[in-house]
Amino acid sequence: MTTTVSAAITLPTADDLRDRARAALSACGVDLSLLDPAAGPRITARTPVTGDDLFGYPGSDASDVAAAIDTAHQAYLSWRTVPAPARGALIKRFGELLTEHKADLGALIGIEVGKITAEALGEVQEMIDICDFALGLSRQLDGRTMPSERPGHRLMETWHPLGVVGVISAFNFPAAVWAWNTALAIVCGDAVVWKPSELTVLTSAACAAIFDRAAAECGAPDGLHVMVAASAADAEVLVDSPKVPVVSATGSERMGAQVAPRVAARFGRTILELGGNNAAIVTPSADLDLAVRGIVFAAAGTAGQRCTTMRRVIAHTDIADELTDRLCEVYRRLPVGDPFAEGTLVGPLIDARAHANMVAALDDAVAQGGQVLAGGARRESSDGSFYVEPAIVAMPAQTAVVQRETFAPILYVLRYSTLAEAIALHNDVPQGLSSSIFTLDQREAEQFLAADGSDCGIVNVNIGTSGAEIGGAFGGEKTTGGGRESGSDAWRGYMRRATNTINYSHDLPLAQGVNFG
Ligand code: UN1
């Protein structure tokens, strides 16, 4: 399946991308003298757009990570005493600066991740939205009061900051997922040490510089947020440090399986957002126009590199042929190419490894009885860049390849006859992040939403699996890790709960009516 089709892709030059990156970094407040350091550990910033290395950036080693944790812990000790609404003022300013630098951050995300401009700007908008949300939250970190069983007593809950939150983020949402965690953690009174993906160090440096500016303007303690450009091995300090009560990690199931037991062994808390193997069930009553649009955005958008990307369609036999034909027809016309060019909808894969994984998955699918109906080929471009045509593969059954997450634009199509069979197929994968059903039949929709319906953390009706709003809690079950970030009451994951019983009487009645002399 390693076919390369000849319609060559025209790309910007690496020098052009370097110039754009320098301009955006400088506008965001990153000291350009950091680029291409002469000595010390170093990370290489690269672009998937052309496949070229862009700059060197100073790396952090394990001792830097330990020092960052100490600094952040000190900052937390004073930050936790700042009233939450005053903490919100910092996030308000941060959101304003993000708005001001939306285009700069969008450019960096485009350069380092290869997202098309609309999606790169969408990611920054998601950061601005979470700031709005966290600002409101800063006046709503509410606890309950419960009736006490004892006269003259009050029972209530208060919520307090926890300490340093370790944030480990992935390349595909280099800015927004960090912002979900950081905006909430800061409003909750925590400090943050951030280990971004090594693939997106420039975007991360720009985000950190913008945050630092907001923090300085608002008089926040130094070191409230520290970014460490560390390797996964050096970042293990973050995983093991007892001074990091919460580790919020986004990435592969393999990474989560390493991080979670180590944090648990020291009784730390994790917020995990790991793999997804998201599906849509399309029923006979579905509005197929809507379904096609929703599926194409979710399956081919971001070149299949979202954790929420749709990887499976489970189509009723009555409409499966028509749906598949229509999807293939759209797939054959999808504009693949330079993410900065107007009209492009599918940018590059992140790197050679991602492409090798896609090729291997397509080979496995064919060996397991699949038939590639559209796409799958690599388009001719520069040597180090990987532009692929999103693929649709008809599968006779939910074989091993369909059950694993391949972080590339491959959409497997399966067929079903009864809704019970469709839901069983839907849930028969290890992951449990996002899901959707396309139907105009309320009974079918409700069955999918019910306790014995979709087993995912995100369950949608008549929209695709990706592109969640920040207002809801984001995350999923099973090997997705069980964490919840972003909206709703996800903030509670960044705080500790204290149960308070207050006696305002002159007596000392004991609970449960216990008489103690
Ligand atoms: C991710 O891919 O890690 O729902 C996050 C979505 C985005 C977030 C994706 N709001 O697709």
Q: What is the pLDDT of residues 147-206, one digit of tens each?
A: 999 999 999 999 999 999 999 999 999 999 999 999 999 999 999 999 999 999 999 999
- The answer to whether residues 99 and 248 touch, using CB atoms and an 8 Å cutoff, is no
pLDDT tens across 326-349, in order? 999 999 999 999 999 999 999 999
Structure tokens at 343: 């009209």
Number of H helices, E strands in the chain: 15, 24
Which atom, in ligand 1's list, is nearest to the CA of 170? Answer: 3
**CA 507 to centroid of ligand 1, rounded, Å:** 55
Give the C-alpha distances (Å, rounded to integers) separating 425 from 101, 148, 308, 388: 44, 48, 18, 28
Provide the pLDDT for residue 3: 58
Whole-number Å distance between alpha carbons of 167 and 447 = 36
Whole-number Å distance between alpha carbons of 165 and 476 = 20
Arithmetic mean of pLDDT, 7-12? 86
Provide the pLDDT for residue 311: 98
The confidence band for 4, taking pLDDT boundaries of 50, 70 and 90, is low
Asked whether the predicted pLDDT for residue 5 surpasses 90, the reply is no
The confidence band for 231, taking pLDDT boundaries of 50, 70 and 90, is very high
Which atom, in ligand 1's list, is nearest to the CA of 458? Answer: 4
**Cβ(60) – ligand 1 distance below 6 Å:** no
Enter the DSSP assignment of 44.
E
- Substitution candidate for ligand 1 out of 307, 434, 458 with most atoms within 8 A of CB: 307
Average pLDDT along the chain: 97
Whole-number Å distance between alpha carbons of 245 and 475 = 20
C-alpha torsion sign, points 430, 432, 438, 439: positive
Catalytic residue chosen out of the listed positions 253, 273, 389, 485: 273
- Substitution candidate for ligand 1 out of 130, 277, 306, 436 with most atoms within 8 A of CB: 306
Provide the pLDDT for residue 517: 87
**CA 292 to centroid of ligand 1, rounded, Å:** 20
Whole-number Å distance between alpha carbons of 55 and 172 = 20
Asked whether the predicted pLDDT for residue 18 surpasses 70, the reply is yes
**CA 366 to centroid of ligand 1, rounded, Å:** 29
**Cβ(468) – ligand 1 distance below 6 Å:** yes
**CA 150 to centroid of ligand 1, rounded, Å:** 48
**Cβ(237) – ligand 1 distance below 6 Å:** no
Whole-number Å distance between alpha carbons of 298 and 306 = 9
Q: Ligand 1: which residue has its CA nearest to atom 6? A: 467
Whole-number Å distance between alpha carbons of 246 and 181 = 11
Provide the pLDDT for residue 303: 98
For 450-484, give one letter per residue: b (16+ CB within 10 A) or e: eeebbbbbbbbbbbbbbbbebeebbbbebbbbbbb
**Cβ(306) – ligand 1 distance below 6 Å:** yes
State yes or no: is 273 an active-site residue: yes
pLDDT tens across 309-318, in order? 999 999 999 9
The confidence band for 6, taking pLDDT boundaries of 50, 70 and 90, is low
**Cβ(470) – ligand 1 distance below 6 Å:** no
Asked whether the predicted pLDDT for residue 1 surpasses 70, the reply is no
Q: Residue 99's CB: how many other CB atoms inside 10 A?
A: 13
**Cβ(467) – ligand 1 distance below 6 Å:** yes
Provide the pLDDT for residue 8: 81
How many whole angstroms from its chain centre is CA 419?
A: 30
Provide the pLDDT for residue 382: 92
Asked whether the predicted pLDDT for residue 217 surpasses 60, the reply is yes
pLDDT tens across 400-449, in order? 999 999 999 999 999 999 999 999 999 999 999 999 999 999 999 999 99
Provide the pLDDT for residue 271: 98
pLDDT tens across 55-104, in order? 999 999 999 999 999 999 999 999 999 999 999 999 999 999 999 999 99
pLDDT tens across 369-390, in order? 999 999 999 999 999 999 999 9
**In the chain, % of residues over pLDDT 90:** 97
- Substitution candidate for ligand 1 out of 113, 173, 252, 480 with most atoms within 8 A of CB: 173
Domains of the chain in sequence order: 59-274+487-498 (3.40.605.10), 278-461 (3.40.309.10)
Extract the runs of DSSP E, i.e. beta strands, from 137-177. Answer: 145-146, 153-161, 164-168
In this prediction the pTM is 0.97
- Backbone φ and ψ for 446, nearest 5 degrees, come out as -65, -35
Which atom, in ligand 1's list, is nearest to the CA of 469? Answer: 10
Provide the pLDDT for residue 7: 66
